[in-house]
Structure 1
Amino acid sequence: MTQTPRPLGISSALAALSSTIERIFVEEGRAHGLTPQQTHVLCLLDGQALVMGEIGRVLDLEKSSVTGMVDRLERRGLVRRRQNPKDRRASLIGLTTDGARLGREVHDRVTTRLEALGDNLPHALRPNALPVLNALANGSAPTVDADPDAPRTPHQEGAAPGNVPA
């Protein structure tokens, strides 16, 4: 007999989702001898070059950690440093031909697996899922279409029909 999963609170659900996403990066990177962070960098650099500070900001890593990671990717021939024409003190990090090929492959596999997570959502929830996820990712309050026939809680009484306030 299959048990229905118990509903999670927002913090537990976000932690579980974060673990699922991290596991995808681990598994896809491992197949190519990459750490999850290296996998993320290859995906991040697809079609663009970035300074190390920006890579560190996106991955929430210290400069020394980014430098070591870029060094290892450079030794593998996946990235290259070039002088930043806007700031001679900084290097731009970009993908090599091999890095771009591997980056596209890993990016496609990660994206396919992440998109597949939405396949488990009931169809009725799908229209609101993306605005909610974007709002959570960006730290802003979403406005989503609500069921106008659903009972309204007291804090929703002042809301316009069809919208749920944050």
Structure 2
Amino acid sequence: MTSRNETPSPAAPLPGGGPHDLVDALAQLSFLVHNTLAEISGRHDLSIIQTRLLGVLRDREPTMQQLGRLLGLDKSSISGLVDRAQRRGLVVRTASATDRRSVQVSITDAGRHLVEQASTQFAEQIESAVAPLSGAERRLLSQLAARIVSADAHHRGIDLRTTTDR
């Protein structure tokens, strides 16, 4: 067992070990990422889903329907989320130039400033978390994570490409 200030060796298995090492390791990693995001969101008086909303809007201007798919939310939930962000001056709704029945959502300068601050803090904490990995291990982890996310998005029919030139 390691003390509070000791870092286990990179080869050390997680407590519990056994046939589910990959599942356990990914679950623990997801908890670390989720808790980090929750902490940083809270510093900016945002929920995790509000932070995710602003993150999505950094480089795209989706319709409400597309936004719901990207965030995994139903129509009423996405409407409430966007309403709250709009009241805070973080996003705006505009009529779609291509489909009058659709409404697009875009980030405001205030929203962009807020998400850039949160993103910088998040990146710093995640960089610290992966500090025990070599550069090659970090690149491999990044590539593998990107493949998993891309495959999942493809499976769910979600296009992860950006829709603006920002």
Output the TM-score relative to the length of structure 2. Answer: 0.73
Of 84, 89, 103, 2:101 maps to 89
Partners of 1:43 and 1:106 within 8 A in 2: no
**Partner residue, 2:129:** 117
Q: Secondary structure at the match of 1:93?
A: strand
Deviating 4+ runs (over 6 angstroms): none
Aligned to 1:74: 86
Q: CA distance change for structure 1 residues 77 and 89 in 2, over 3 Å: closer, same or farther? A: same
Which residue identity does 2:149 align to in structure 1?
A
- Equivalent in 9, 13, 23 of residue 6 of structure 1: 13
Alignment of 1:11-160 (within 5 A): 11-122=23-134, 125-139=137-151
- Consecutive unaligned residues in structure 1, runs of 5 or more: 141-166
Change in CA separation of 1:104 and 1:125 when aligned onto 2, cut-off 3 Å: closer
1:65 and 1:111 map into 2 onto residues whose CA distance is 28
Judged with a 3 Å threshold, the aligned counterparts in structure 2 of structure 1 residues 75 and 63 are, in CA distance, closer, same or farther, namely same
Aligned residues: 140
Deviation at 1:132? 2.0
* SS of structure 2 residue aligned to 1:82: strand
Instruction: Give the 3-state SS of the residue equivalent to 1:92 in structure 2.
Output: strand
**How large is the Cα RMSD of the aligned pairs?**
2.2
CA distance in 1, matches of 2:136, 2:92: 46
Residues in 2 aligned to 1:49 and 1:30: alpha-carbon distance in whole angstroms? 25
Identity %: 30
Determine the C-alpha separation between the residues in 2 that align with 1:110 and 1:118.
Answer: 12
Give per-residue Cα distances to partners, 1:105-146, cap 9 Å, x unaligned.
112222332333321224563453222222222238xxxxxx
Unmatched tracts of structure 2, length 5 or more? 153-166
**Structure 1 stretch displaced more, 66-75 or 8-17:** 8-17
Higher relative contact order (CA 8 A, sep 6+): 2
> Which structure's residues are more often strand, by fraction?
1
Larger Cα-atom Rg:
1
Quick check: 1:50–1:93 contact (8 Å CA) kept in 2? Answer: yes
- Paired with 1:134 and 1:52, the residues of 2 have a C-alpha distance of 25
